């Protein structure tokens, strides 16, 4: 997270493009001696909020803007202004936007397909690499521009997919940099949202954008202050808002990140200085006070606005002079406003522009919008989210053509269809009770025209295993699915009774599983399940004495059904939403070697959680329970309590049982700003738990203690490896545990 913020601070300083000359978009009749005013907005990430303050001052002084040129985030502010957004409207949008979510492209958990929510518990990463024709393919960036793309589409949803930017209410240019030759590229036509995204595509942070066969990145690397572009458009006087940060002397022993940051700052400052020298005595150069701001401080948009207003104050007299000498404001009755009208449009027809393996028909069904529908931008974004649930695409975008055609564009991932994920879970209670699991997964997705996924997963550490999985959606919108999995696994099964360790079993088994189910949207699924398992329970205690009964053969078959709901807004620290699961299994013991007749046991388990928010605190109430008819014949039919959020004062799986009820109340507070881009999420929290259980081994061996209590306090940080918890738990029976958890629970 820290490096993520440094990358923004190092690279978002820029804004791209400049070079080829375009038609003089703001050159009016000079015969009357009136001035055409060009506005130039530099790059600078979150510092672009100062541009909005300067725009407010210009409007107060009656200065007409006849053309606007922007680099990086300056191109965003400039494009919105050229499209008809007022400074006050832009300020409101910038202050209310969820910038961390937009920039980090972290889709809300309510937008994720249900299966992806499940996978969050196992893998700390999205796809970390791919495999293509030339071998291993690594990501080109930390995140993507998908979140910002949707944000700008909403603000400019009246923009045609391709048009001349001279036809806007104010002629407009965006500046980006050609990744192939490092030259500035001036964008004056095409898709205005793509022009903005290319101009602000910070290398390493965001993916490059491809426009007309060229890969484009942030314009600040080539033309941070595009004064010459405004001149070429016909501006007689240029008003520049410059938020470029002057590089300071590097430290004595700079880190790799500091070196990269210094190189970018020097490069941007150099090309900025060259452009600033083109300004004449009648032009205005405004440099807002940035001392309390940074390129990543999007949460301080209001402060940036005020800084821009204050920076404009010394130039107000000159502004009034320019207003008195300027040409009349641009008057183009046929201008393309591009800005959102906030209403709905009727769909004339649907067009699918798709270059992936998934069929156009399935994409259209999942999109759900049809010809004749009246839709808003919100409707379109919701439909895009449903398409994204197929998990088969790199980018998804949609917009209207001039004739009312709604075009949905789906593109394959840059990493390809052969993808890799990784995950890590660590548990340590500092009493020689520690476990770790490292996970890796290869997936081919999409597998075929109906979607589908072929996966191979590998687990190493305190548990181990390998599995082959084939998930195949089918039916309308691909909502039904079959899921087949076969593999081998080994993991520990400690067995305690009344505080004494009976045995430490190690289970190894081969298995095949099958599911037939239906996706209920993003909130749940229902499925019929069946599996067959064969293997052995290896005894680590009794197995040391050859006269004692030790290893036990395993051969079982299970059938059942499961229903799950999950609308929690965060997998670890939710503040809203709920979850619920119900599972019923019938487990048949097929092993005749132990001298027991074949018997079927019923196993039922229910879990529920409700999240809530109280001011700066969040919390969740959990309740669950289960019952099994098995009396220890098939250990896999048992339940286990113990471990963090499972009676935290006890070790992992320390309390086996075949009937239990558990409840807890947990509260937590984030210590760092949640609205700051790149802010490391730090939490403190507390947890109170209670459980009662029965462990019935038959033959009058029944352990049914009084209710068990546990209280826990912890500190936590969300990292690239998942959440990390460090805390202390105490139980009502003198149990104490100091614990460290990395990742999610076992």
User: What is the reported pLDDT for 145?
Assistant: 86
**How does residue 498 score in pLDDT terms, banded at 50, 70 and 90?**
low
Domain 447-707 bears CATH identifier 2.40.160.50? yes
DSSP state for residue 206 in the 8-state scheme: B
Contact 245, 220 (CB under 8 A): no
Per-domain boundaries in the chain: 37-105+143-243+283-325, 345-412, 447-707
Cα 274–Cα 276–Cα 281 angle in degrees, nearest 5: 135
Under DSSP, the state recorded for 58 is H
| Residues contacting residue 36 through CB under 8 Å, at least 6 positions apart | 26, 27, 28, 30, 66, 67, 234, 235, 236, 237, 326, 327
Beta strands, E only, 154-246: 163-164, 172-178, 184-187, 189-190, 209-211, 214-217, 237-241
pLDDT of amino acid 6: 44
Q: What is the pLDDT of residues 358-406, one digit of tens each?
A: 999 999 999 999 999 999 988 999 999 899 888 889 889 998 888 899 9
Confidence band, pLDDT 50/70/90 cuts, at residue 287: very high
Please tell me the distance from the alpha carbon of residue 618 to that of residue 616, in angstroms, as a whole number. 7
User: Which of 4-18, 57-71, 328-342 is the least confident region?
Assistant: 4-18
- Please tell me the least confidently modeled range out of 223-237, 344-358, 419-433, 701-715: 419-433
pLDDT at residue number 436: 87
Sorted by sequence, the CB contacts under 8 Å of residue 377 that are 6+ apart come out as: 153, 154, 157, 340
Whether omega before 95 lies within 30 degrees of 0, making that bond cis, reads no
Instruction: Among 17-26, 240-249, 451-460, name the one with the lowest average pLDDT.
Output: 17-26
Give the integer Cα–Cα distance in Å for 158 and 662: 54
197, 122, 89, 123: which is closest to 153 by C-alpha? 197
CATH of domain 345-412: 3.10.20.310
> 215 and 209 in contact (C-beta within 8 Å)?
yes
Give the per-residue pLDDT at 248: 85
R_g of the chain, CA atoms, integer Å: 31
Q: What is the mean pLDDT of residues 138-158?
A: 86
State residue 4's pLDDT score.
Answer: 40
Contact 386, 368 (CB under 8 A): yes
Q: 563-586: per-residue pLDDT in tens? A: 999 999 888 899 999 999 999 999
Tell me the average pLDDT across 596-603: 82
In angstroms, the CA 631 to CA 703 distance is 12
Q: What is the pLDDT of residues 529-555, one digit of tens each?
A: 999 999 988 876 555 554 444 677 889
- The whole-angstrom separation of Cα 168 and Cα 48 is 21
Kindly tell me if the per-residue pLDDT of 667 is higher than 90: yes
The CATH code of domain 37-105+143-243+283-325 reads 3.40.1090.10
Q: Sheet of 349-354: strands edge to edge? A: 349-354, 405-411, 395-400
Question: Residue 388 in contact with residue 147, Cβ under 8 Å?
Answer: no
Cα 381 from Cα 13, distance rounded (Å): 30
Q: Is 29 exposed, middle or buried (0-12, 13-18, 19+ CB in 10 A)?
A: exposed
726 φ/ψ angles, rounded to the nearest 5 degrees: -135, 125
* Token couple for 339: 């800005």
With contact defined as beta carbons under 8 Å apart, do 44 and 245 qualify? yes
pLDDT surpasses 90 at 10: no
| Cα distance between residue 682 and residue 602, in whole Å | 43
Q: What is the pLDDT of residue 432?
A: 62
Q: Are 446 and 478 contacting, i.e. CB atoms less than 8 angstroms apart?
A: no
């Amino acid at each position: 997270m820290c490096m993520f913020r440094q990358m923004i601070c190092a690279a978002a300083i820029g804004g791209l493009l400049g070079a080829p000359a375009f038609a003089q978009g703001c050159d009016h009749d000079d015969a009357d001696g009136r001035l055409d005013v060009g506005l130039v907005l530099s790059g600078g990430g979150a510092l672009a909020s100062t541009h909005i303050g300067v725009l407010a001052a210009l409007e107060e002084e009656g200065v007409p803007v006849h053309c606007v040129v922007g680099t990086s985030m300056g191109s965003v502010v400039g494009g919105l202004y050229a499209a008809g957004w007022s400074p006050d409207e832009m300020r409101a949008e910038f202050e209310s936007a969820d910038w961390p979510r937009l920039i980090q492209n972290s889709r809300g958990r309510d937008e994720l397909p249900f299966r992806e929510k499940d996978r969050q518990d196992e893998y700390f990463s999205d796809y970390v690499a791919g495999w293509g024709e030339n071998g291993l393919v690594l990501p080109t960036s930390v995140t993507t521009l998908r979140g910002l793309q949707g944000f700008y589409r909403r603000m400019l949803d009246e923009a045609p997919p391709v048009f001349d930017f001279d036809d806007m209410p104010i002629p407009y240019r965006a500046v980006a940099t050609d990744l192939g030759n490092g030259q500035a590229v001036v964008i004056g036509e095409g898709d205005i949202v793509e022009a903005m995204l290319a101009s602000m595509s910070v290398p390493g942070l965001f993916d490059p954008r491809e426009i007309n066969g060229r890969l484009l990145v942030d314009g600040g690397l080539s033309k941070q202050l595009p004064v010459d572009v405004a001149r070429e458009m016909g501006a007689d006087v240029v008003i520049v808002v410059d938020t470029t940060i002057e590089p300071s002397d590097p430290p004595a022993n700079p880190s790799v990140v500091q070196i990269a940051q210094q190189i970018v700052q020097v490069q941007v400052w150099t090309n900025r200085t060259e452009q600033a020298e083109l300004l004449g005595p009648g032009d205005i150069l405004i440099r807002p006070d940035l001392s309390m701001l940074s390129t990543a401080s999007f949460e301080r948009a209001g402060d940036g606005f005020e800084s821009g207003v204050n920076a404009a104050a010394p130039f107000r007299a000159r502004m009034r002079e320019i207003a008195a000498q300027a040409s009349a404001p641009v008057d183009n009755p046929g201008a393309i406003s591009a800005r959102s009208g906030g209403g709905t449009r009727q769909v004339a027809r649907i067009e699918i522009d798709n270059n992936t393996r998934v069929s156009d028909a399935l994409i259209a069904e999942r999109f759900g919008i049809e010809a004749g529908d009246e839709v808003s931008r919100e409707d379109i974004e919701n439909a895009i989210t449903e398409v994204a649930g197929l998990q088969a695409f790199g980018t998804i975008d949609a917009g209207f053509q001039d004739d009312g055609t709604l075009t949905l564009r789906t593109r394959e991932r840059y990493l390809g269809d052969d993808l890799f994920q990784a995950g890590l879970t660590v548990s340590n209670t500092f009493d020689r009770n520690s476990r770790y699991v490292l996970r890796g997964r290869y997936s081919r997705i999409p597998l075929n025209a109906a979607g589908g996924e072929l996966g191979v997963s590998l687990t190493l550490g305190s548990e181990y295993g390998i599995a082959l999985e084939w998930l195949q959606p089918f039916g309308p919108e691909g909502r039904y699915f079959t899921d087949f999995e076969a593999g081998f696994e080994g993991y520990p099964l400690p067995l305690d009774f009344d505080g004494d360790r009976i045995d430490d079993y190690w289970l190894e088994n081969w298995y095949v599983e099958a599911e037939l189910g239906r996706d209920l949207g993003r909130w749940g699924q229902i499925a019929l399940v069946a599996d067959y398992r064969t293997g052995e329970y290896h005894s680590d205690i009794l197995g040391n004495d050859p006269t004692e009964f030790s290893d036990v053969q395993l051969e079982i078959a299970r059938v059942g059904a499961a229903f799950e709901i999950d609308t929690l807004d965060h997998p670890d620290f939710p503040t809203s939403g709920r979850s619920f699961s119900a599972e019923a299994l019938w487990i048949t013991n097929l092993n005749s070697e132990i001298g027991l007749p074949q018997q079927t046991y019923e196993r039922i388990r229910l879990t529920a959680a409700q999240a809530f928010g109280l001011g700066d605190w969040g919390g969740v109430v959990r309740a669950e329970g289960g019952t099994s008819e098995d009396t220890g014949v098939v250990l896999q039919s048992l339940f286990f309590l113990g471990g963090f959020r499972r009676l935290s004062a006890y070790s992992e799986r320390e309390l086996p049982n075949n009937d239990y009820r558990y409840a807890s109340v947990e509260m937590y507070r984030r210590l760092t700003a949640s609205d700051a881009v790149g802010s490391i999420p730090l939490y403190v929290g507390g947890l109170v738990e209670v459980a009662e259980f029965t462990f019935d081994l038959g033959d009058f061996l029944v352990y049914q203690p009084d209710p068990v209590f546990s209280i826990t306090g912890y500190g936590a940080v969300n990292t690239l490896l998942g959440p990390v918890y460090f805390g202390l738990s105490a139980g009502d029976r003198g149990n104490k545990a100091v614990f460290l958890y990395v990742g999610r629970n076992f």
